Amino acid sequence: MDNIVPASYKAYVENSLIKYQCDGVLPRCGKCNDAQHDCDITSRVFYSYEVVKDLIDRVQDLEARLEASQSRSTGPTRVEFDDAHRFDVNVQLQQSGLAWENDQRNARPIDQISQELGALSLGHADVMAQYYVGNAAGARFAKIFFSSLNLNLALAIPTSQASPQHHLLELGQSCASLPPKHVADFAISVYMKRVHIWWPVATYPALRSIYSSVYEHGSTCSQFQRFVVFITLATGTKEAQNTGCGAELKSMFAPEEYYRTALQFFDSFSGLDRITALILLIVWSMRSPLASDHLNLWQLVRQAMSLATEMGLHRNGLAWKYAPSELEARNRCWWCIYGLERKIAVGLGRTLSIRNQAIDAMFPKHTEEDDSLPTSAVSDAPLMTFGVGPAVHLIKLWAISGDILESVYIARPATSLSPAILQRLVNSLRQRLSQWRGSLEEYPTSQNSVYLQMKVQYAIVVMMLNRPSPSFPVPDQEMTRSCHEAAKSAIETWNLLRERNEILLDWKTLHDVLMAGLAWLYTCWSLPSIDLPTVSAISSTYSSVLHYLEMVDPKRTAYSEFFESLLEQVLARRNQDRAQETTSPNNHDISTDWMEANFEQAVLDASCSFDLADLDNFMLDYPYLIDHDQNVGW
């Protein structure tokens, strides 16, 4: 309001009588101020109608907004999943007439569904306009599959895509207090069985010591200790709910309430404490029911990776004088971050932050502290049987998947690499996967949940290598057969875990299951030797897994309907192709012309520019690079 200037003013009476020249300064003119006279110039100032009208309008607008804000604060609080993560792009879309929504309405059903399936790797398909998802997430594979069969997907669009809905979650601002000791013991037991076995960021005695300190000396505990207790309580109680143990837990607080309490203590950590806290936060975010937490995964893991490399956790300096316990803590932090970064990067199709050749940190190992596990505290915990072995084994699998991401899923011109180089690259990756699968047999039989979980992850990586990709838009029969066996293995293993209520539910579980279903249908159509009874049996098993996920999240019912519709059309097309084999034996293959056009479009869609000479020189050495272990023990 300082820039509002009066249109005119009338001098103070005494100034007029003594012939002072009034300077019109508000709220007291200069002459009256010097002579210490009373001044009423504020009542003799005149403003134009336009200025007054504008001020009145602004006051009325502010009053209306204040009233609306007060009415919302008195009503029930409903927070939309993505409100905390709506970037400025939304404002730009509104100003441009909601251009993206109009493009989606005009897009072909194949594009719509392919993009939605790929965006499920974000945990929430409704945000695909705002976040980048790479080819490894499966959108390109889905588009190639749907286009090659020329399916009618207009009736198969999930209801969430045909009629967009905003998924809301009732969130209060309540937090949790420290639960009774027996509740905490049960939650940490579930945490050790279901989470710590894969991400052993700290030793079990260290976690137990933190819990004891918080319960016995709460007033003197650090912020870090309080954070660790509440974030592990949140993750442990969430896993208890996922496995049907929520009633046995008897906790009066929800996992989200423990999580909100933990965030209150996330403050001013440094060193390994900060990295450990970030790892625990990422592990929770992968299991959180909030889509906003899933969208933060990439930023969190890159921040943790940056802090870890800054501290040199990825190196094994022989001159560093660390105590054995501190060195083990550094190694565990590093490899947990590495595994999380590879898992998230591959899931979202993002670039990797560090090459394997830059790493020489030692893998986590079984320590004397691990032998002190009390049986009463962690009954039947896999950690007592396997130690950190499953975590190390899975980290090695994530390393292979990262190399697949950086080699097979690089968008490149069709002429950039010779078939021999590509085949050499794939053979190298297959050999490493075969060696990893062979070492998996060291674990007990298929009745062990640890074995089954790793078997599922192995099948997912094999599918990613062998399904249609930028490097192999039309896989050969050997790759298609490998993809078929991997999809079948994943579906059957998921079903076995479902029967035991042991499926690990995280932000990408639904996406992985849907990609396995698409890979299964694609290979059933591509391989003439697959008989119809086998197709029907595995499809029925797959439907059971999808229905189980629907029970966990009822909003996902549309995808079961989508799969059933897609299965019906694939079987019809398969029968049609088989009937025409006598006149056109290769009718089921994707035509070369279509493949080339689709591949060129894929390159254009990726908005890639290439230096063919540099790329060819790099890829000549790449198979050697991904095989070269640099003493890491891949």
Model confidence pLDDT, tens digit, residues 268-280: 788 999 999 999 9
- What was the pLDDT predicted at 272? 93
Of 623, 626, 617, whose CA–CA distance to 416 is shortest? 617
pLDDT band at 537 (very low <50, low <70, confident <90, very high): very high
Instruction: Decide if pLDDT at 611 tops 50.
Output: no
Which residue type occupies 60? Q
pLDDT band at 381 (very low <50, low <70, confident <90, very high): low
- What was the pLDDT predicted at 285? 92
d(C-alpha 279, C-alpha 274), whole Å: 9
Average pLDDT over residues 278-287: 94
- What was the pLDDT predicted at 70? 62
- What was the pLDDT predicted at 488? 96
Which of 48-57, 300-309, 384-393, 602-611 is predicted least confidently?
A: 602-611
Average pLDDT over residues 9-32: 64
- What was the pLDDT predicted at 82? 38
Per-residue pLDDT tens for 399-411? 999 999 988 887 6
Give 150 or 420, the one with higher predicted confidence: 420
Helix-helix angle 324-348:271-287, to 10 degrees: 40
- What was the pLDDT predicted at 153? 54
Instruction: Decide if pLDDT at 160 tops 50.
Output: no
Provide the token pair at 178.
């420290």
Give 257 or 118, the one with higher predicted confidence: 257
d(C-alpha 230, C-alpha 239), whole Å: 14
**Contacts within 8 Å (CB) and 24+ apart, 298-306:** 298/344, 298/345, 298/348, 298/350, 301/337, 301/340, 301/341, 301/344, 301/345, 302/341, 302/353, 303/278, 304/275, 304/278, 304/279, 304/337, 304/340, 304/341, 305/337, 305/338, 305/341, 305/353, 305/354, 306/353
State the DSSP H helix or E strand holding residue 45, giving kind and residue range, or none if neither: strand 45-46
Residues 6+ apart with CB under 8 A from 385: none
Q: What residue segments make up the domains of the chain, in order of their start?
A: 8-73
d(C-alpha 220, C-alpha 213), whole Å: 8
Average pLDDT over residues 302-307: 94
- In the block, which residue shows the tokens 């996992």? 255
d(C-alpha 455, C-alpha 445), whole Å: 11
Of 78, 83, 9, whose CA–CA distance to 39 is shortest? 9
* HEC secondary structure over 585-626: CCCCCCCHHHHHHHHHHHHHHCCCCCCHHHHHHHHHHHHHHH
Average pLDDT over residues 105-126: 56
- What was the pLDDT predicted at 52? 79
Instruction: Decide if pLDDT at 481 tops 80.
Output: yes
d(C-alpha 93, C-alpha 95), whole Å: 5
Average pLDDT over residues 347-375: 80
pLDDT, averaged across the chain: 75
State the DSSP H helix or E strand holding residue 8, giving kind and residue range, or none if neither: strand 8-9
d(C-alpha 364, C-alpha 392), whole Å: 7
- What was the pLDDT predicted at 159? 44
Instruction: Decide if pLDDT at 152 tops 90.
Output: no
Do 40 and 55 touch, CB atoms closer than 8 A?
no
Average pLDDT over residues 67-76: 56
Average pLDDT over residues 141-146: 70
Per-residue pLDDT tens for 452-476? 999 999 999 999 999 988 888 888 8
Which of 384-398, 444-458, 594-608 is predicted least confidently?
A: 594-608
SS3 for 169? Answer: strand
pLDDT band at 121 (very low <50, low <70, confident <90, very high): low
d(C-alpha 344, C-alpha 340), whole Å: 6
State the DSSP H helix or E strand holding residue 114, giving kind and residue range, or none if neither: helix 109-119
Instruction: Decide if pLDDT at 398 tops 50.
Output: yes
Pick the CATH number of 8-73 from 4.10.240, 1.20.1530, 2.60.40, 3.30.67: 4.10.240
- What was the pLDDT predicted at 39? 77
Residue 399: CB atoms within 10 A of its CB come to: 21
pLDDT band at 384 (very low <50, low <70, confident <90, very high): low
- What was the pLDDT predicted at 64? 81
Do 443 and 421 touch, CB atoms closer than 8 A?
no
Q: What is the pTM of this model?
A: 0.71
Residue 3: CB atoms within 10 A of its CB come to: 4
- What was the pLDDT predicted at 11? 62
Give 63 or 304, the one with higher predicted confidence: 304
Q: Count Cβ atoms within 10 A of the Cβ of residue 416 and give its class: 0-12 exposed, 13-18 middle, 19 or more buried.
A: middle
Write the Ramachandran bin of 387: left for phi over 0, alpha for psi from -120 to 50, otherwise beta: left
Instruction: Decide if pLDDT at 431 tops 70.
Output: yes
Instruction: Decide if pLDDT at 62 tops 50.
Output: yes
Average pLDDT over residues 190-197: 91
Before 200, cis peptide (omega within 30)? no
- What was the pLDDT predicted at 530? 86
CA atoms within 13 Å, Cβ hemisphere of 608: 21
Per-residue pLDDT tens for 86-101? 334 343 334 433 343 4
- What was the pLDDT predicted at 397? 97
d(C-alpha 433, C-alpha 429), whole Å: 6
Provide the token pair at 193.
């069985």
DSSP-assigned letter for residue 80: E
Instruction: Decide if pLDDT at 324 tops 50.
Output: yes
d(C-alpha 629, C-alpha 634), whole Å: 6
Strand intervals (E) in 261-416 = none
Instruction: Decide if pLDDT at 283 tops 90.
Output: yes
- What was the pLDDT predicted at 366? 77
